[in-house]
Chain A
Amino acid sequence: MSKVIITVVGKDTVGIIARVCTYLAQMNVNVMDISQTIVQEYFNMMMIADMEKASGTFEEISEGLENLGQEIGVAVKCQREEIFLKMHRI
Protein backbone atom coordinates (compact mmCIF):
# COMPACT_ATOMS: atom_id res chain seq x y z
CA MET A 1 0.00 0.00 0.00
CA SER A 2 1.28 3.44 -0.88
CA LYS A 3 -0.77 5.91 1.11
CA VAL A 4 -0.80 9.62 0.45
CA ILE A 5 -2.52 12.55 2.07
CA ILE A 6 -4.18 15.05 -0.24
CA THR A 7 -5.16 18.37 1.27
CA VAL A 8 -7.26 21.05 -0.36
CA VAL A 9 -7.47 24.53 1.10
CA GLY A 10 -9.21 27.50 -0.47
CA LYS A 11 -12.38 29.48 -1.00
CA ASP A 12 -15.43 27.24 -1.05
CA THR A 13 -17.03 26.70 -4.43
CA VAL A 14 -19.24 24.13 -6.16
CA GLY A 15 -17.65 20.87 -7.25
CA ILE A 16 -14.23 20.88 -5.56
CA ILE A 17 -14.51 17.33 -4.26
CA ALA A 18 -16.07 16.14 -7.52
CA ARG A 19 -13.23 17.48 -9.63
CA VAL A 20 -10.47 16.20 -7.35
CA CYS A 21 -12.12 12.77 -7.16
CA THR A 22 -12.68 12.62 -10.92
CA TYR A 23 -9.00 13.28 -11.48
CA LEU A 24 -8.03 10.63 -8.92
CA ALA A 25 -10.38 8.12 -10.56
CA GLN A 26 -8.79 8.82 -13.94
CA MET A 27 -5.39 8.11 -12.42
CA ASN A 28 -6.69 4.94 -10.75
CA VAL A 29 -6.02 6.27 -7.24
CA ASN A 30 -8.28 4.75 -4.59
CA VAL A 31 -9.76 7.23 -2.08
CA MET A 32 -9.97 5.62 1.37
CA ASP A 33 -11.19 8.45 3.56
CA ILE A 34 -12.41 11.99 3.12
CA SER A 35 -13.00 14.58 5.79
CA GLN A 36 -13.86 18.19 5.22
CA THR A 37 -14.83 21.29 7.08
CA ILE A 38 -15.47 24.92 6.32
CA VAL A 39 -13.73 27.44 8.53
CA GLN A 40 -14.63 31.11 7.94
CA GLU A 41 -15.76 30.42 4.37
CA TYR A 42 -12.55 28.55 3.70
CA PHE A 43 -12.84 25.03 2.51
CA ASN A 44 -10.49 22.52 4.18
CA MET A 45 -10.43 18.97 2.94
CA MET A 46 -8.20 16.02 3.66
CA MET A 47 -8.18 12.77 1.73
CA ILE A 48 -6.34 9.59 2.50
CA ALA A 49 -5.71 7.76 -0.76
CA ASP A 50 -3.87 4.70 -1.97
CA MET A 51 -1.55 5.05 -4.96
CA GLU A 52 -0.51 1.41 -5.12
CA LYS A 53 -2.22 0.78 -8.48
CA ALA A 54 -2.05 4.34 -9.77
CA SER A 55 -1.53 4.82 -13.49
CA GLY A 56 1.09 7.52 -12.98
CA THR A 57 4.08 8.22 -10.75
CA PHE A 58 3.79 10.13 -7.48
CA GLU A 59 5.46 13.08 -9.16
CA GLU A 60 3.00 13.15 -12.07
CA ILE A 61 -0.08 12.84 -9.88
CA SER A 62 1.20 15.39 -7.40
CA GLU A 63 1.82 17.83 -10.23
CA GLY A 64 -1.55 17.02 -11.83
CA LEU A 65 -3.33 17.79 -8.54
CA GLU A 66 -1.45 21.06 -8.16
CA ASN A 67 -2.46 22.14 -11.65
CA LEU A 68 -6.05 21.12 -11.03
CA GLY A 69 -6.01 23.21 -7.85
CA GLN A 70 -4.87 26.22 -9.83
CA GLU A 71 -7.75 25.74 -12.26
CA ILE A 72 -10.31 25.57 -9.45
CA GLY A 73 -8.62 28.35 -7.48
CA VAL A 74 -7.66 26.31 -4.40
CA ALA A 75 -4.35 24.96 -3.08
CA VAL A 76 -4.03 21.20 -3.52
CA LYS A 77 -1.12 19.42 -1.91
CA CYS A 78 -0.18 15.77 -2.12
CA GLN A 79 2.25 14.29 0.40
CA ARG A 80 3.30 10.82 1.42
CA GLU A 81 1.59 9.75 4.61
CA GLU A 82 4.78 9.03 6.56
CA ILE A 83 5.57 12.64 7.42
CA PHE A 84 2.33 12.91 9.39
CA LEU A 85 2.59 9.49 10.98
CA LYS A 86 6.16 10.13 12.11
CA MET A 87 5.22 13.45 13.64
CA HIS A 88 1.99 12.48 15.36
CA ARG A 89 2.35 8.79 16.22
CA ILE A 90 4.93 7.31 18.57
Chain B
Amino acid sequence: MLNMFEVIETNNMIEHEKLDVRTITMGISLLDCCDSDLNALNEKIYKKITTYARNLVSTGEEIARDFGVPIVNKRISVTPIALVGGCACKTPDDFVTIAQTLDKAAKEVGVNFIGGYSALVCKGMTQAEENLIRSIPKALASTERVCSSINVGSTKTGLNMDAVRLMGEIVVETAKATRESDSLGCAKLVVFCNAPDDNPFMAGAFHGVTEADAIINVGVSGPGVVKVALEKARGENFEVLCETIKKTAFKITRVGQLVAQEASKRLGVPFGIIDLSLAPTPAVGDSVAEILEEIGLERVGAPGTTAALAMLNDQVKKGGVMASSYVGGLSGAFIPVSEDQGMIDAVSLGALTLEKLEAMTCVCSVGLDMIAIPGDTTPSTISGIIADEAAIGMINQKTTAVRIIPVIGKGVGDTVEFGGLLGYAPVMPVNQYSCEKFVNRGGRIPAPIHSFKN
Protein backbone atom coordinates (compact mmCIF):
# COMPACT_ATOMS: atom_id res chain seq x y z
CA MET B 1 0.00 0.00 0.00
CA LEU B 2 1.13 3.53 -0.65
CA ASN B 3 2.86 5.30 2.17
CA MET B 4 2.72 8.90 3.20
CA PHE B 5 6.28 9.64 2.16
CA GLU B 6 5.52 8.67 -1.43
CA VAL B 7 2.35 10.70 -1.57
CA ILE B 8 4.10 13.76 -0.13
CA GLU B 9 6.98 13.34 -2.60
CA THR B 10 4.61 13.35 -5.59
CA ASN B 11 2.63 16.32 -4.32
CA ASN B 12 5.80 18.27 -3.57
CA MET B 13 6.90 17.73 -7.15
CA ILE B 14 3.60 19.15 -8.36
CA GLU B 15 3.21 21.99 -5.87
CA HIS B 16 6.79 23.15 -5.36
CA GLU B 17 8.92 21.77 -8.20
CA LYS B 18 6.64 22.61 -11.13
CA LEU B 19 5.98 19.06 -12.28
CA ASP B 20 3.42 19.16 -15.03
CA VAL B 21 2.38 17.47 -18.21
CA ARG B 22 3.37 20.01 -20.79
CA THR B 23 1.01 19.04 -23.56
CA ILE B 24 -1.60 16.62 -24.76
CA THR B 25 -1.44 16.90 -28.51
CA MET B 26 -4.05 15.29 -30.72
CA GLY B 27 -2.71 14.41 -34.13
CA ILE B 28 -5.41 14.47 -36.81
CA SER B 29 -4.96 13.28 -40.37
CA LEU B 30 -6.45 15.64 -42.94
CA LEU B 31 -5.63 13.46 -45.94
CA ASP B 32 -9.29 12.50 -46.35
CA CYS B 33 -10.22 16.19 -46.58
CA CYS B 34 -8.43 16.65 -49.93
CA ASP B 35 -10.60 18.34 -52.55
CA SER B 36 -9.90 20.27 -55.74
CA ASP B 37 -12.35 22.96 -54.62
CA LEU B 38 -10.74 25.32 -52.10
CA ASN B 39 -13.97 26.19 -50.27
CA ALA B 40 -14.97 22.55 -49.95
CA LEU B 41 -11.47 21.72 -48.68
CA ASN B 42 -11.62 24.43 -46.03
CA GLU B 43 -15.06 23.28 -44.91
CA LYS B 44 -13.95 19.67 -44.59
CA ILE B 45 -10.84 20.64 -42.62
CA TYR B 46 -12.84 22.78 -40.22
CA LYS B 47 -15.44 20.09 -39.71
CA LYS B 48 -12.95 17.28 -39.13
CA ILE B 49 -10.86 19.20 -36.60
CA THR B 50 -13.81 20.56 -34.66
CA THR B 51 -15.44 17.11 -34.57
CA TYR B 52 -12.39 15.10 -33.52
CA ALA B 53 -11.02 17.61 -31.01
CA ARG B 54 -14.37 18.74 -29.64
CA ASN B 55 -13.72 17.29 -26.19
CA LEU B 56 -9.92 17.59 -26.13
CA VAL B 57 -9.69 20.61 -23.83
CA SER B 58 -12.43 19.53 -21.41
CA THR B 59 -10.98 16.00 -21.20
CA GLY B 60 -7.54 17.42 -20.45
CA GLU B 61 -9.01 19.52 -17.67
CA GLU B 62 -10.87 16.51 -16.23
CA ILE B 63 -7.71 14.41 -16.14
CA ALA B 64 -5.77 17.23 -14.51
CA ARG B 65 -8.42 17.46 -11.80
CA ASP B 66 -8.65 13.70 -11.20
CA PHE B 67 -4.93 13.23 -10.66
CA GLY B 68 -4.14 16.66 -9.32
CA VAL B 69 -1.43 17.27 -11.90
CA PRO B 70 -1.49 20.34 -14.18
CA ILE B 71 -1.78 19.72 -17.91
CA VAL B 72 -0.50 22.99 -19.27
CA ASN B 73 -1.40 22.79 -22.96
CA LYS B 74 -3.95 21.05 -25.11
CA ARG B 75 -2.96 21.20 -28.76
CA ILE B 76 -3.59 19.81 -32.22
CA SER B 77 -1.25 18.72 -34.98
CA VAL B 78 -2.45 18.03 -38.52
CA THR B 79 -1.12 16.48 -41.71
CA PRO B 80 1.40 18.78 -43.45
CA ILE B 81 -0.85 21.25 -45.22
CA ALA B 82 1.26 21.27 -48.39
CA LEU B 83 0.02 17.70 -48.99
CA VAL B 84 -3.58 18.40 -48.05
CA GLY B 85 -3.90 21.64 -49.99
CA GLY B 86 -1.82 20.74 -53.04
CA CYS B 87 -4.82 19.87 -55.17
CA ALA B 88 -6.87 22.99 -54.39
CA CYS B 89 -4.26 25.70 -53.83
CA LYS B 90 -2.79 27.26 -56.92
CA THR B 91 -1.21 30.29 -55.25
CA PRO B 92 0.35 31.15 -51.88
CA ASP B 93 -2.79 33.17 -51.06
CA ASP B 94 -4.92 30.05 -51.49
CA PHE B 95 -2.84 28.38 -48.79
CA VAL B 96 -3.35 31.36 -46.49
CA THR B 97 -7.09 30.58 -46.45
CA ILE B 98 -6.28 27.14 -45.01
CA ALA B 99 -4.13 28.74 -42.30
CA GLN B 100 -7.10 30.91 -41.41
CA THR B 101 -9.38 27.88 -41.30
CA LEU B 102 -6.94 26.11 -38.95
CA ASP B 103 -6.86 29.20 -36.74
CA LYS B 104 -10.64 29.33 -36.63
CA ALA B 105 -10.89 25.63 -35.78
CA ALA B 106 -8.26 26.00 -33.03
CA LYS B 107 -10.24 28.84 -31.48
CA GLU B 108 -13.49 26.90 -31.73
CA VAL B 109 -12.15 23.90 -29.79
CA GLY B 110 -10.10 26.07 -27.42
CA VAL B 111 -6.55 24.82 -28.09
CA ASN B 112 -3.77 27.38 -27.83
CA PHE B 113 -1.74 26.16 -30.83
CA ILE B 114 -2.34 24.10 -33.94
CA GLY B 115 0.70 22.75 -35.78
CA GLY B 116 1.07 21.34 -39.25
CA TYR B 117 1.18 24.33 -41.56
CA SER B 118 4.10 22.42 -42.93
CA ALA B 119 5.96 21.08 -45.93
CA LEU B 120 8.41 18.20 -46.05
CA VAL B 121 10.95 19.18 -48.66
CA CYS B 122 14.07 17.37 -47.53
CA LYS B 123 14.94 16.34 -51.08
CA GLY B 124 12.88 18.47 -53.42
CA MET B 125 9.95 20.86 -53.56
CA THR B 126 6.72 20.46 -55.51
CA GLN B 127 5.01 23.62 -56.74
CA ALA B 128 2.44 23.23 -53.95
CA GLU B 129 5.16 22.96 -51.32
CA GLU B 130 6.90 26.05 -52.64
CA ASN B 131 3.58 27.92 -52.64
CA LEU B 132 2.98 26.93 -49.03
CA ILE B 133 6.45 28.07 -48.00
CA ARG B 134 5.96 31.40 -49.78
CA SER B 135 2.62 31.84 -48.01
CA ILE B 136 4.14 31.48 -44.52
CA PRO B 137 4.77 35.19 -43.77
CA LYS B 138 1.19 36.15 -44.60
CA ALA B 139 -0.26 33.01 -42.99
CA LEU B 140 1.52 33.60 -39.67
CA ALA B 141 0.81 37.33 -39.73
CA SER B 142 -2.91 36.80 -40.29
CA THR B 143 -3.43 34.03 -37.73
CA GLU B 144 -2.86 33.72 -34.02
CA ARG B 145 -2.55 30.04 -33.17
CA VAL B 146 -1.16 28.42 -36.31
CA CYS B 147 2.39 27.01 -36.19
CA SER B 148 4.48 26.22 -39.23
CA SER B 149 7.39 23.86 -39.78
CA ILE B 150 9.49 22.97 -42.79
CA ASN B 151 11.72 19.92 -43.05
CA VAL B 152 14.68 20.85 -45.25
CA GLY B 153 16.88 17.79 -44.86
CA SER B 154 17.37 14.30 -43.49
CA THR B 155 20.14 11.78 -42.99
CA LYS B 156 18.63 9.65 -45.74
CA THR B 157 18.23 12.40 -48.34
CA GLY B 158 20.83 15.03 -47.56
CA LEU B 159 20.03 18.73 -47.43
CA ASN B 160 17.80 20.56 -49.86
CA MET B 161 19.86 23.73 -50.14
CA ASP B 162 17.29 25.44 -52.38
CA ALA B 163 14.81 25.12 -49.54
CA VAL B 164 17.44 26.27 -47.04
CA ARG B 165 18.06 29.39 -49.13
CA LEU B 166 14.33 30.04 -49.48
CA MET B 167 13.74 29.61 -45.75
CA GLY B 168 16.34 32.29 -44.96
CA GLU B 169 14.23 34.71 -46.98
CA ILE B 170 10.96 33.47 -45.49
CA VAL B 171 12.19 33.86 -41.90
CA VAL B 172 13.11 37.49 -42.63
CA GLU B 173 9.81 38.15 -44.45
CA THR B 174 7.87 36.61 -41.56
CA ALA B 175 9.76 38.84 -39.15
CA LYS B 176 8.83 41.88 -41.26
CA ALA B 177 5.20 40.81 -41.61
CA THR B 178 4.88 40.60 -37.81
CA ARG B 179 7.15 43.55 -36.94
CA GLU B 180 4.42 45.18 -34.81
CA SER B 181 4.60 42.30 -32.33
CA ASP B 182 8.43 42.08 -32.15
CA SER B 183 8.50 39.66 -35.11
CA LEU B 184 6.49 37.11 -33.12
CA GLY B 185 5.61 35.21 -36.31
CA CYS B 186 9.11 33.69 -36.31
CA ALA B 187 8.43 32.13 -32.90
CA LYS B 188 5.82 30.00 -34.65
CA LEU B 189 8.11 28.88 -37.50
CA VAL B 190 10.60 26.01 -37.25
CA VAL B 191 13.04 24.75 -39.87
CA PHE B 192 13.88 21.08 -39.28
CA CYS B 193 16.30 18.39 -40.32
CA ASN B 194 15.06 14.83 -39.61
CA ALA B 195 11.67 16.10 -38.39
CA PRO B 196 9.78 13.43 -36.41
CA ASP B 197 6.23 12.49 -37.46
CA ASP B 198 4.88 12.31 -33.93
CA ASN B 199 6.28 15.33 -32.10
CA PRO B 200 3.71 16.78 -29.67
CA PHE B 201 5.67 19.99 -28.96
CA MET B 202 5.07 23.27 -30.76
CA ALA B 203 5.97 24.99 -32.92
CA GLY B 204 7.25 21.93 -34.78
CA ALA B 205 4.36 19.51 -34.32
CA PHE B 206 2.71 17.98 -37.37
CA HIS B 207 0.82 14.73 -37.92
CA GLY B 208 3.02 12.64 -40.23
CA VAL B 209 1.62 10.70 -43.16
CA THR B 210 2.78 7.44 -41.56
CA GLU B 211 0.38 8.02 -38.65
CA ALA B 212 -3.16 6.75 -38.01
CA ASP B 213 -6.30 8.84 -38.57
CA ALA B 214 -6.05 10.34 -35.11
CA ILE B 215 -3.60 9.82 -32.27
CA ILE B 216 -2.80 11.16 -28.80
CA ASN B 217 0.81 12.15 -28.12
CA VAL B 218 1.90 13.52 -24.78
CA GLY B 219 4.86 15.69 -23.91
CA VAL B 220 6.09 15.52 -20.33
CA SER B 221 8.26 18.04 -18.58
CA GLY B 222 9.82 18.67 -15.21
CA PRO B 223 13.20 20.42 -15.18
CA GLY B 224 12.37 21.72 -11.69
CA VAL B 225 11.97 18.18 -10.34
CA VAL B 226 15.35 17.13 -11.74
CA LYS B 227 16.98 20.27 -10.34
CA VAL B 228 15.64 19.66 -6.83
CA ALA B 229 16.65 15.97 -6.96
CA LEU B 230 20.18 16.99 -7.95
CA GLU B 231 20.45 19.44 -5.07
CA LYS B 232 20.47 16.37 -2.85
CA ALA B 233 23.37 14.88 -4.83
CA ARG B 234 25.74 17.83 -4.51
CA GLY B 235 29.39 16.79 -4.42
CA GLU B 236 28.59 13.20 -5.37
CA ASN B 237 30.34 11.49 -8.30
CA PHE B 238 28.88 10.98 -11.78
CA GLU B 239 27.49 7.54 -10.99
CA VAL B 240 25.28 8.95 -8.23
CA LEU B 241 24.41 11.93 -10.40
CA CYS B 242 23.28 9.71 -13.29
CA GLU B 243 21.27 7.44 -11.01
CA THR B 244 19.46 10.44 -9.58
CA ILE B 245 18.56 11.82 -13.00
CA LYS B 246 17.38 8.43 -14.25
CA LYS B 247 15.14 7.79 -11.25
CA THR B 248 13.62 11.25 -11.51
CA ALA B 249 13.07 10.96 -15.26
CA PHE B 250 11.33 7.63 -14.69
CA LYS B 251 8.91 9.15 -12.20
CA ILE B 252 8.13 12.14 -14.40
CA THR B 253 7.56 9.98 -17.45
CA ARG B 254 5.24 7.61 -15.60
CA VAL B 255 2.93 10.54 -14.92
CA GLY B 256 2.98 11.36 -18.64
CA GLN B 257 2.22 7.75 -19.48
CA LEU B 258 -0.75 7.72 -17.10
CA VAL B 259 -2.13 10.94 -18.55
CA ALA B 260 -1.63 9.67 -22.11
CA GLN B 261 -3.46 6.41 -21.39
CA GLU B 262 -6.33 8.22 -19.70
CA ALA B 263 -6.64 10.77 -22.49
CA SER B 264 -6.59 8.01 -25.07
CA LYS B 265 -9.29 6.05 -23.23
CA ARG B 266 -11.56 9.00 -22.54
CA LEU B 267 -11.30 10.46 -26.04
CA GLY B 268 -11.50 7.10 -27.81
CA VAL B 269 -8.35 7.92 -29.78
CA PRO B 270 -5.32 5.58 -29.84
CA PHE B 271 -2.24 6.46 -27.81
CA GLY B 272 0.82 7.29 -29.91
CA ILE B 273 3.94 8.20 -27.99
CA ILE B 274 5.33 9.92 -24.94
CA ASP B 275 7.87 12.60 -25.68
CA LEU B 276 10.41 12.52 -22.86
CA SER B 277 11.54 16.07 -22.84
CA LEU B 278 12.77 18.46 -20.22
CA ALA B 279 10.88 21.49 -21.45
CA PRO B 280 11.60 24.67 -19.51
CA THR B 281 9.34 27.68 -18.99
CA PRO B 282 10.39 31.23 -18.15
CA ALA B 283 9.39 30.61 -14.50
CA VAL B 284 12.25 30.44 -12.01
CA GLY B 285 12.84 26.84 -10.94
CA ASP B 286 11.61 25.42 -14.27
CA SER B 287 14.86 25.73 -16.15
CA VAL B 288 17.23 23.33 -17.95
CA ALA B 289 20.05 25.87 -17.49
CA GLU B 290 19.58 25.67 -13.72
CA ILE B 291 20.02 21.88 -13.89
CA LEU B 292 23.30 22.31 -15.76
CA GLU B 293 24.41 24.84 -13.16
CA GLU B 294 23.41 22.45 -10.38
CA ILE B 295 25.58 19.79 -12.07
CA GLY B 296 28.53 22.09 -11.53
CA LEU B 297 28.75 24.93 -14.04
CA GLU B 298 29.02 28.48 -12.76
CA ARG B 299 26.90 29.56 -15.70
CA VAL B 300 25.50 27.62 -18.62
CA GLY B 301 27.86 28.24 -21.55
CA ALA B 302 31.01 27.64 -19.49
CA PRO B 303 33.44 24.95 -20.68
CA GLY B 304 31.90 21.60 -19.75
CA THR B 305 28.39 22.67 -20.76
CA THR B 306 28.20 20.37 -23.78
CA ALA B 307 29.41 17.37 -21.77
CA ALA B 308 27.00 18.09 -18.92
CA LEU B 309 24.11 18.44 -21.36
CA ALA B 310 25.05 15.23 -23.20
CA MET B 311 25.03 13.35 -19.91
CA LEU B 312 21.76 14.92 -18.78
CA ASN B 313 20.04 14.15 -22.07
CA ASP B 314 21.18 10.55 -22.09
CA GLN B 315 20.14 9.88 -18.51
CA VAL B 316 16.71 11.43 -19.08
CA LYS B 317 16.20 9.00 -21.96
CA LYS B 318 17.52 6.00 -20.04
CA GLY B 319 15.18 6.70 -17.14
CA GLY B 320 12.26 7.58 -19.36
CA VAL B 321 12.29 4.61 -21.73
CA MET B 322 11.55 2.21 -18.91
CA ALA B 323 8.50 4.23 -17.94
CA SER B 324 6.77 3.98 -21.30
CA SER B 325 6.83 1.40 -24.06
CA TYR B 326 6.27 3.98 -26.75
CA VAL B 327 8.71 6.82 -26.67
CA GLY B 328 9.02 9.15 -29.63
CA GLY B 329 8.86 12.74 -30.78
CA LEU B 330 11.87 14.82 -29.88
CA SER B 331 12.69 13.27 -26.48
CA GLY B 332 15.56 15.16 -24.90
CA ALA B 333 16.39 18.36 -23.11
CA PHE B 334 15.17 21.55 -24.76
CA ILE B 335 17.44 24.56 -24.68
CA PRO B 336 15.30 27.47 -25.86
CA VAL B 337 16.79 30.79 -24.83
CA SER B 338 13.71 32.96 -24.29
CA GLU B 339 11.75 30.22 -22.50
CA ASP B 340 14.39 29.50 -19.87
CA GLN B 341 15.35 32.05 -17.22
CA GLY B 342 18.77 30.48 -16.67
CA MET B 343 19.57 30.70 -20.39
CA ILE B 344 18.37 34.32 -20.53
CA ASP B 345 20.62 35.22 -17.59
CA ALA B 346 23.61 33.43 -19.14
CA VAL B 347 23.14 35.26 -22.45
CA SER B 348 22.76 38.61 -20.67
CA LEU B 349 26.02 38.00 -18.79
CA GLY B 350 27.86 37.03 -21.98
CA ALA B 351 28.42 33.46 -20.74
CA LEU B 352 26.38 31.86 -23.50
CA THR B 353 26.89 32.57 -27.20
CA LEU B 354 25.19 31.45 -30.39
CA GLU B 355 28.20 29.27 -31.24
CA LYS B 356 28.07 27.50 -27.86
CA LEU B 357 24.36 26.94 -28.29
CA GLU B 358 25.10 25.35 -31.66
CA ALA B 359 27.60 23.00 -30.03
CA MET B 360 25.01 22.10 -27.39
CA THR B 361 22.51 21.13 -30.09
CA CYS B 362 24.88 18.36 -31.21
CA VAL B 363 24.06 16.42 -28.05
CA CYS B 364 20.47 17.25 -27.20
CA SER B 365 17.16 17.92 -28.76
CA VAL B 366 16.43 20.03 -30.57
CA GLY B 367 18.28 22.97 -31.97
CA LEU B 368 18.75 26.70 -31.97
CA ASP B 369 15.48 27.55 -30.33
CA MET B 370 13.81 30.86 -29.53
CA ILE B 371 16.89 32.94 -30.16
CA ALA B 372 16.46 36.63 -30.92
CA ILE B 373 19.01 38.04 -33.38
CA PRO B 374 19.39 41.55 -34.85
CA GLY B 375 16.66 42.56 -37.28
CA ASP B 376 19.18 43.52 -39.96
CA THR B 377 20.58 39.98 -40.23
CA THR B 378 20.60 39.04 -43.93
CA PRO B 379 18.54 36.15 -45.32
CA SER B 380 21.71 34.42 -46.49
CA THR B 381 23.22 34.51 -42.99
CA ILE B 382 20.01 32.96 -41.62
CA SER B 383 20.21 30.31 -44.36
CA GLY B 384 23.80 29.68 -43.29
CA ILE B 385 22.70 29.18 -39.67
CA ILE B 386 19.94 26.82 -40.86
CA ALA B 387 22.42 24.88 -43.03
CA ASP B 388 24.87 24.47 -40.13
CA GLU B 389 22.18 23.21 -37.82
CA ALA B 390 20.69 20.89 -40.46
CA ALA B 391 24.17 19.49 -41.18
CA ILE B 392 24.56 18.59 -37.50
CA GLY B 393 21.27 16.70 -37.67
CA MET B 394 22.05 15.02 -40.97
CA ILE B 395 25.49 13.77 -39.93
CA ASN B 396 24.50 12.75 -36.40
CA GLN B 397 21.22 11.10 -37.42
CA LYS B 398 19.23 13.25 -35.03
CA THR B 399 16.55 15.88 -35.22
CA THR B 400 17.80 19.44 -35.31
CA ALA B 401 15.87 22.62 -35.83
CA VAL B 402 16.17 26.36 -36.08
CA ARG B 403 13.65 28.77 -34.60
CA ILE B 404 15.32 32.16 -34.63
CA ILE B 405 13.73 35.54 -34.57
CA PRO B 406 15.39 38.42 -36.43
CA VAL B 407 13.67 41.20 -34.52
CA ILE B 408 12.97 44.01 -36.94
CA GLY B 409 14.11 47.37 -35.59
CA LYS B 410 16.16 45.88 -32.76
CA GLY B 411 19.84 45.12 -32.32
CA VAL B 412 22.32 43.65 -29.85
CA GLY B 413 21.67 45.07 -26.39
CA ASP B 414 17.91 45.25 -26.85
CA THR B 415 15.45 42.86 -25.22
CA VAL B 416 12.39 41.34 -26.84
CA GLU B 417 9.22 40.37 -24.98
CA PHE B 418 7.19 37.56 -26.53
CA GLY B 419 4.87 37.00 -23.59
CA GLY B 420 3.50 33.92 -21.84
CA LEU B 421 5.31 30.63 -22.27
CA LEU B 422 7.42 32.15 -25.07
CA GLY B 423 9.13 34.42 -22.57
CA TYR B 424 11.62 37.20 -23.37
CA ALA B 425 15.11 37.29 -24.80
CA PRO B 426 18.13 39.54 -25.15
CA VAL B 427 19.08 40.04 -28.83
CA MET B 428 22.22 37.98 -29.50
CA PRO B 429 25.06 38.94 -31.85
CA VAL B 430 25.56 36.97 -35.08
CA ASN B 431 28.86 36.41 -36.89
CA GLN B 432 29.13 39.27 -39.39
CA TYR B 433 31.08 37.48 -42.14
CA SER B 434 29.09 36.55 -45.25
CA CYS B 435 28.11 33.07 -46.48
CA GLU B 436 26.15 34.40 -49.42
CA LYS B 437 28.14 32.64 -52.15
CA PHE B 438 27.83 29.33 -50.32
CA VAL B 439 24.09 29.65 -49.84
CA ASN B 440 23.47 30.81 -53.41
CA ARG B 441 25.04 27.77 -55.05
CA GLY B 442 21.68 25.99 -55.11
CA GLY B 443 20.95 22.28 -55.38
CA ARG B 444 21.43 19.63 -52.75
CA ILE B 445 24.08 18.51 -50.29
CA PRO B 446 24.17 14.72 -50.78
CA ALA B 447 23.27 12.24 -48.04
CA PRO B 448 26.22 11.23 -45.86
CA ILE B 449 28.04 7.95 -46.43
CA HIS B 450 26.72 6.32 -43.26
CA SER B 451 23.13 6.68 -44.48
CA PHE B 452 23.65 3.86 -46.99
CA LYS B 453 22.76 1.04 -44.68
CA ASN B 454 20.81 -1.25 -47.01
Contact = CB atoms under 8 A, between A and B. Distances in A.
Pair from one complex = yes
26 contacts: A5-B7, A7-B7, A7-B8, A35-B3, A37-B4, A44-B4, A46-B2, A46-B4, A46-B7, A46-B8, A48-B1, A58-B66, A62-B65, A77-B68, A80-B66, A80-B67, A83-B67, A83-B69, A83-B255, A84-B2, A84-B10, A86-B254, A86-B255, A86-B257, A86-B258, A88-B9
B11 interface: yes
A71 to B, nearest CB: 20
B410 interface: no
B257 to A, nearest CB: 7
A81 B258 contact: no
A78 B4 CA distance: 14
Contacts of B9: 88
Nearest to A32: B1
Nearest to B262: A82
Interface residues of A, number: 23
B167 to A, nearest CB: 41
Contacts, number: 56
Contacts of B257: 86
B326 to A, nearest CB: 15
B6 A88 contact: yes
Contacts of A80: 66-67
B1 A33 contact: yes
Contact of A87 (B3, B10, B65, B68): B10
Contact of A35 (B4, B68, B69): B4
B318 interface: no
A64 B336 CA distance: 41
A59 interface: yes
A62 B10 CA distance: 18
Q: 8 smallest A-B Cβ distances: which pairs?
A: A79-B68, A83-B67, A86-B254, A88-B6, A86-B258, A46-B4, A87-B251, A80-B66
A83 B71 CA distance: 13
Interface residues of B, number: 20
Contacts of B68: 77-79, 83
Contacts of A86: 254-255, 257-258
Interface string B47-83: 0000000000000000001111100000000000000
A56 to B, nearest CB: 14
A44 B12 CA distance: 13
A67 to B, nearest CB: 15
Given A62-B65, A77-B68, A83 B4 contact: no
A5 B2 contact: yes
A84 B324 CA distance: 16
Contacts of A84: 2, 6-7, 10
A77 B65 contact: no
A1 interface: no
A83 B2 contact: no
Contacts of A81: 2
B4 A77 contact: no
Interface in B260-318: none
Nearest to B13: A87
Given A37-B4, A59-B65, A83-B258, 17 more contacts: A5-B2, A33-B1, A44-B4, A46-B2, A46-B4, A78-B68, A80-B66, A80-B67, A82-B67, A83-B10, A83-B69, A84-B6, A86-B254, A86-B255, A86-B257, A86-B258, A88-B6
A85 interface: yes
Nearest to A79: B68
A87 B7 CA distance: 10
Contacts of B66: 58, 79-80
Interface in B236-256: 251, 254-255
Interface in A43-72: 44, 46, 48, 58-59, 62
Given A83-B67, A83-B68, A88 B258 contact: no
Contacts of B2: 5, 46, 48, 81, 84-85, 88
Contacts of A46: 2, 4, 7-8
Contacts of A77: 11, 68
Contacts of A7: 7-8, 11
A46 B2 CA distance: 10
A83 B68 CA distance: 9
Nearest to B63: A80
Nearest to A85: B2
Interface string B6-32: 111111000000000000000000000
A87 B259 CA distance: 12
A88 B69 CA distance: 15
A8 to B, nearest CB: 11
